[in-house]
Amino acid sequence: MSYYKIKNLEQYFKHYKKSIREPQKFWGRVASENFVWYQQWEKVVEYDMADARVEWFKGAKVNIVKNCIDRHLAKRGDKTAIIFEPNNPDEPALHISYNELHERVCKMANVLRDQGIKKGDRVCIYLPMIPELAVSVLACARIGAVHSVVFAGFSSSALASRINDCECKMVITSDGSYRGNKTVDLKGIVDEALQQCPTVTTVLVAKRTNEAVPMQDGRDQWLQPLLDKASTNNVAEIMDAEDPLFILYTSGSTGKPKGMLHTTAGYMVYTAYTFKNIFNYQDNDVFWCTADIGWITGHSYIVYGPLLNGATTVIFEGVPSYPNFSRFWEVIEKHNVNQFYTAPTAIRALAKESLEYVQKYPLSSLKVIGSVGEPINEEAWHWYNDHVGGKRCPLVDTWWQTETGGIMISPLPFVTPTKPTYATLPLPGIQPVLMDEKRNEIEGNQVVGSLCIKYPWPSMARTIWGDHQRFKDTYFSTFPGKYFTGDGALRDEVGYYRITGRVDDVIIVSGHNLGTAPIEDAINEHPAVAESAIVGFPHDIKGNALYGYIILKDIGEGRDRNNLSKEINQLIADQIGPIAKLDKIQFVSGLPKTRSGKIMRRILRKVAEGDFSNFGDISTLLNPEIVEEIKNGRL
Ligand code: 6R9
């Protein structure tokens, strides 16, 4: 274990250098010392980045679930693997030990096999955040079926297109789900989706809300009676290192969703390694990631990363605002959470509310707090650091993507000094480079460019399901031979990285490159502003000008809009320069957001340009109704 865990900055640099100079040796050692294999690999890595082909641990045989559960049983059988915290705080939490998890996963695996699911078959999982979700994921992996989890907030048409894209044979769902004070009819959504899905022959239905739901004869079955009859003995499938583990669709920006395919051994090694180092997990800690398992963050850091390390991981069914804005802090207190990992969008929403909600709780169990999903603005960083981390817990701002499988750039707590809004340094094995418009690598520090990765890493996606050409075109063609992230970044004077946002969020105004994030930071500092988003629109003289969409706090509502606009532009001029002033400011009641909390800038850009013709797919928005309001209020 000593090699696995980095203890201080000097050791970080040592491991980093070794991982770059001798990646085969580095990852070979991490892999052989920390996992159980049926058979060792012939070669650690083989790749051709120009053709987007990468193989890790080729020739090895392994089962990831054996590594997540079985190997822990002798030492940690009674340790809690999963704490399930229900939506309703009055419903008791559930503690599932490693022994119990083993039993549940084996039974589920047997049910899947009895229903005809074989190695390589795709199974769609459309479940709320209940233990059955993690159990289903693990049961698929145990028998070599490829899981495709679809976030249970997606509509029936989004679900259908994902099921059809990878031709799932089965859907695992529940009667319904709870979210805050709402109940959602999940089974109804599945039924509607399946009218367009000819490949699905079986639907397994878990009970959660106990609502009466129609069951289609010959297709639908209640899960529990099948589990009751199933044996707890299950022999795990022996998988090749590069056998598919799962497909996960990226929160679509344009067009058809991309089914990112992740494979077995590399994903296992990298998620386990990053979990241990980035959260500094110690043996009896309780780890809580608030993401949904329907996103990559939940796959890697609720299920696989924690369980591979024999950790206790929290599955939270609820939302941060129910029954009130103290919910997160109450759960941390209740379960003595040691590591807490959430998203800037949640932090900003909670920071808008009274401080009393968080100050009521000492949160003294916390040791490390983390952020993921989008750039964390300075104000949110400080609020999180001060009021949640109590200025004593390192805040790890972790940059990564569905495509990267695991965290790529992040401080290591108690190792890397943090800096607000900076993801800081790459993990061992990760070689970030910044590229200019002429496709040259930018050397040195204090520079900005497009963020690429120049050497393969174990958990990178291997392809887009069914469309390798699109995979190549999207990620490996813009900068030939390198993986292009689609993000822009700056590297400061000591080599720390700050992710400035999607590259398409960089707007060139009168020849100046402006990132949207720093401008939004400046605007958000105005006491009357709750949130903002900036886009560019064509301008005769400047090339592009800036258009700002601004949500006011209650205190701003009664104020004169012209004066507010002037104050906001003054703030921008003061902090960034007059060049970054907004030409147009539209006050709105909300911003179009994807279900993972990302602003859909494409729509804002179209409105700013006055082009209402083709907004593309807005069905995956959390708040599609806002689009009308924004259109009507265009300046
Ligand atoms: C894990 C996840 C990926 C995109 C990524 C970037 C943004 C994620 C970030 C961040 C700045 C961070 N992003 N983490 N930007 N700082 N710490 O979110 O995956 O849903 O695929 O999104 O999210 O723009 O390219 P995914």
| Lowest pLDDT segment from 30-39, 67-76, 266-275, 536-545 | 536-545
What contacts 625, CB < 8 A, 6 or more positions away? none
More confident residue, 153 or 325: 325
**Contact (CB, 8 A) for 500 and 518:** yes
244-249 vs 259-263, strand pairing mode: antiparallel
Task: Please name the residue whose Cα sits nearest to atom 5 of ligand 1.
Answer: 401
User: What is the complex's ipTM, to 2 decimals?
Assistant: 1.00
DSSP output for 287-317: EEE-S-TTSHHHIIIIIIHHHHTT-EEEEE-
Does residue 233 have a pLDDT over 90? yes
Confidence of residue 275 (pLDDT cuts 50, 70, 90): very high
pTM passes above 0.95: no
Nearest residue to 275 (alpha-carbon basis) of 315, 307, 316, 241: 307
Helices assigned H by DSSP within 22-77:
23-34, 64-68, 73-76
- State residue 156's pLDDT score: 87
Task: Please name the residue whose Cα sits nearest to atom 11 of ligand 1.
Answer: 375
Of all residues in the chain, the percent with pLDDT exceeding 70 is 97
- 532: helix, strand or coil: strand
**Euclidean distance between CA atoms 630 and 593, whole angstroms:** 13
**Euclidean distance between CA atoms 298 and 402, whole angstroms:** 11
- State residue 162's pLDDT score: 92
- State residue 185's pLDDT score: 96
| Lowest pLDDT segment from 133-142, 251-260, 468-477 | 251-260
* Average pLDDT of span 476-481: 92
- State residue 476's pLDDT score: 95
Nearest residue to 69 (alpha-carbon basis) of 268, 278, 309, 239: 309
**Which of 77-81, 589-593, 619-623 has the largest mean confidence?**
77-81
Helices assigned H by DSSP within 218-326:
223-229, 264-279, 296-298, 305-308
E strands within 226-267? 239-240, 244-249, 259-263
* Average pLDDT of span 483-487: 93
Mean pLDDT taken over the chain: 94
**Euclidean distance between CA atoms 441 and 489, whole angstroms:** 13
Does residue 417 have a pLDDT over 80? yes
Does residue 430 have a pLDDT over 60? yes
> Separation of 501 CA from ligand 1 center, angstroms?
8
- State residue 253's pLDDT score: 40
Residue of 292, 396, 399 best suited for mutating to test ligand 1, as the one with most atoms within 8 Å of CB? 399
pLDDT tens digits for 163-220? 999 999 999 999 999 999 999 999 999 999 999 999 999 999 999 999 999 999 999 9
> Separation of 589 CA from ligand 1 center, angstroms?
25
Nearest residue to 262 (alpha-carbon basis) of 410, 43, 465: 465
In the structure encoding, which two tokens stand for residue 236, read together?
Answer: 């795990």
Does residue 621 have a pLDDT over 70? yes
Q: What is the DSSP letter of 515?
A: E
User: Could you identify the atom of ligand 1 that is nearest to the CA of residue 398?
Assistant: 17
E strands within 360-482? 368-371, 395-397, 432-435, 447-453, 463-464
User: Could you identify the atom of ligand 1 that is nearest to the CA of residue 410?
Assistant: 17
Q: Go through 308-341 and write b for each residue having 16 or more CB atoms within 10 A of its CB, e for each that does not.
A: bbbbbbbbbbbbbbbeebbbbbbbbbebebbbbb
Residue of 487, 500, 506, 594 best suited for mutating to test ligand 1, as the one with most atoms within 8 Å of CB? 487
Q: Verify whether ligand 1 is closer than 6 Å to residue 502 (CB atom).
A: yes
Residue of 372, 419, 502, 596 best suited for mutating to test ligand 1, as the one with most atoms within 8 Å of CB? 372
> Separation of 320 CA from ligand 1 center, angstroms?
21
Counting other chains too, the contacts that 590-593 makes at CB distance below 8 Å and 24 or more residues apart are 590/551, 590/623, 590/626, 590/629, 591/531, 591/533, 591/549, 591/551, 591/626, 592/618, 592/621, 592/623, 592/624, 592/626, 592/627, 592/630, 593/345, 593/621, 593/622, 593/623
CA atoms in the 13 A half-sphere facing the CB of 9: 8
Residue of 289, 374, 404 best suited for mutating to test ligand 1, as the one with most atoms within 8 Å of CB? 374
Does residue 541 have a pLDDT over 90? no
CA atoms in the 13 A half-sphere facing the CB of 611: 11
* Average pLDDT of span 376-399: 96
DSSP output for 479-492: TTTSEEEEEEEEE-
H helix or E strand, kind and range, residue 543: strand 543-552
**Euclidean distance between CA atoms 126 and 84, whole angstroms:** 18
pLDDT tens digits for 307-358? 999 999 999 999 999 999 999 999 999 999 999 999 988 898 899 899 999 9
pLDDT tens digits for 110-134? 999 999 999 999 999 999 999 999 9
Does residue 254 have a pLDDT over 50? no
Q: Verify whether ligand 1 is closer than 6 Å to residue 429 (CB atom).
A: no
**Contact (CB, 8 A) for 384 and 369:** yes
- State residue 252's pLDDT score: 43
> Separation of 407 CA from ligand 1 center, angstroms?
10
pLDDT tens digits for 489-524? 999 999 999 998 777 566 767 656 567 877 898 899
The owner of tokens 């609502």 is 211
Q: Verify whether ligand 1 is closer than 6 Å to residue 449 (CB atom).
A: no
